[in-house]
């Protein structure tokens, strides 16, 4: 069993059920998956969250959660002794991170029947992922405000059509300046950044055998499966089917497009260097 994190139990809140004033012996993580919630703590702090927000509550701190009618959350309580992870009261914004959502759902499955060892191991992975997401968020605070706005829009709407003109308008800068800012920050332009985000999500979805290629394409912003397959192959050097069959051998074969390149093969992709984005 994990010596630092011990899984106590997990649950799923939905259907606007009553949520009384309460506390937990251990630390609690709450992931909001739909609607919104506002939690008032006995120390006078009130925190709000929407889809993708994870609320970190330290042990023994009493609180009461007020939820919108459509609110849905997954929660887990755990004992933590000498852990490297902080249980400081706060929220962590995970955006559309597919792993966090999947892992919270998996914890619920490990609750009945109770699987302490597996649940503890999964919680360690969740905490590590939350720490990474917090670090990435801290890094983004050093970015130009226009780049932060564009990145936030891409991360939230990558499954929709996005044009550089739209990103520039939201960022409050010209298209040429936005391109320059992205290249300075990530080594690629905004459309290539968008492609990398879509490919990151595609890789995650391909690990789920219940999604066919057309469904993965639709969920990552590609209207046609053939177009998605060409883009995926240009980016990774393998087809979606080949990646699904052997992800461990192909996951790190990251490629990005040269300026002016496209998933249709107008320009050959190049390997990402140390200054390029990591998808």
Range from 102-116, 117-131, 188-202, 264-278 carrying the lowest mean pLDDT: 264-278
127 and 208 in a single domain? The answer is: no
Q: Which domain holds residue 195?
A: 145-271
For the cut 60, the answer to whether the pLDDT of residue 97 exceeds it is yes
Give the orientation angle of helix 190-206 with respect to helix 164-171, to 10 degrees: 110
Helix (H/G/I), strand (E/B), else coil: 87: coil
Which of residues 139, 166, 184 is at a domain's end? 139
Contact between 66 and 37 under an 8 Å Cβ cutoff? The reply is yes
123 and 37 in a single domain? The answer is: yes
Q: How far apart are CA 81 and CA 72, in angstroms?
A: 29
Compute CA distances 72 → 52, 69, 128, 158, whole Å: 11, 9, 23, 23
Q: Which two tokens stand for residue 93?
A: 């914004």
For the cut 80, the answer to whether the pLDDT of residue 33 exceeds it is yes
Task: Please check whether residue 199 lies inside any domain of the structure.
Answer: yes
| Total number of domains constituting the chain | 2
172 and 87 in a single domain? The answer is: no
45-57 confidence digits (pLDDT tens) = 899 999 999 999 9
133 and 25 in a single domain? The answer is: yes
143-194 confidence digits (pLDDT tens) = 788 998 998 899 889 999 999 999 999 999 999 999 999 888 777 789 988 9
How does the average pLDDT of the chain come out, rounded? 83
72 and 163 in a single domain? The answer is: no
Which of residues 123, 139, 155 is at a domain's end? 139
123 and 38 in a single domain? The answer is: yes
Helices (H), the chain: 98-111, 116-140, 145-157, 164-171, 175-186, 190-206, 213-219, 225-236, 240-245, 247-250
36 and 115 in a single domain? The answer is: yes
159 and 215 in a single domain? The answer is: yes
């Amino acid at each position: 069993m994990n010596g630092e994190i011990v899984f106590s139990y997990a649950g799923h809140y939905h259907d606007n059920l009553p949520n009384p004033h309460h506390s937990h012996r251990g630390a609690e993580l709450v992931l909001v998956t739909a609607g919104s919630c506002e939690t008032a703590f006995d120390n006078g702090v009130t925190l709000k969250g929407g889809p993708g927000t994870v609320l970190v509550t330290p042990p023994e701190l009493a609180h009461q959660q007020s939820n919108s009618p459509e609110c849905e959350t997954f929660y887990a309580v755990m004992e933590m002794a000498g852990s490297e992870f902080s249980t400081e009261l706060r929220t962590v914004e995970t955006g559309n991170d597919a792993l966090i959502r999947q892992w919270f759902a998996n914890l619920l499955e490990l609750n009945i029947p109770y699987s302490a060892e597996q649940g503890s191991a999964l919680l360690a992975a969740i905490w590590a992922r939350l720490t990474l997401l917090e670090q990435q968020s801290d890094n983004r605070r050093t970015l130009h405000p226009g780049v932060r706005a564009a990145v936030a829009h891409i991360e939230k709407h990558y499954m929709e059509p996005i044009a550089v003109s739209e990103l520039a308008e939201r960022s409050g800068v010209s298209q040429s300046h936005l391109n320059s800012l992205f290249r300075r920050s990530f080594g690629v332009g905004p459309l290539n950044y968008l492609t990398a985000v879509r490919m990151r999500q595609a890789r995650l979805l391909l690990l789920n055998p219940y999604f066919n290629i057309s469904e993965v394409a639709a969920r990552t912003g590609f209207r046609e499966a053939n177009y998605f397959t060409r883009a995926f192959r240009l980016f990774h050097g393998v087809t979606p089917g080949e990646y699904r069959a052997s992800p461990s051998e192909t996951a790190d074969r990251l490629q990005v497009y040269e300026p002016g390149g496209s998933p249709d093969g107008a320009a050959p992709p190049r390997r990402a260097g140390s200054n390029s984005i990591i998808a």
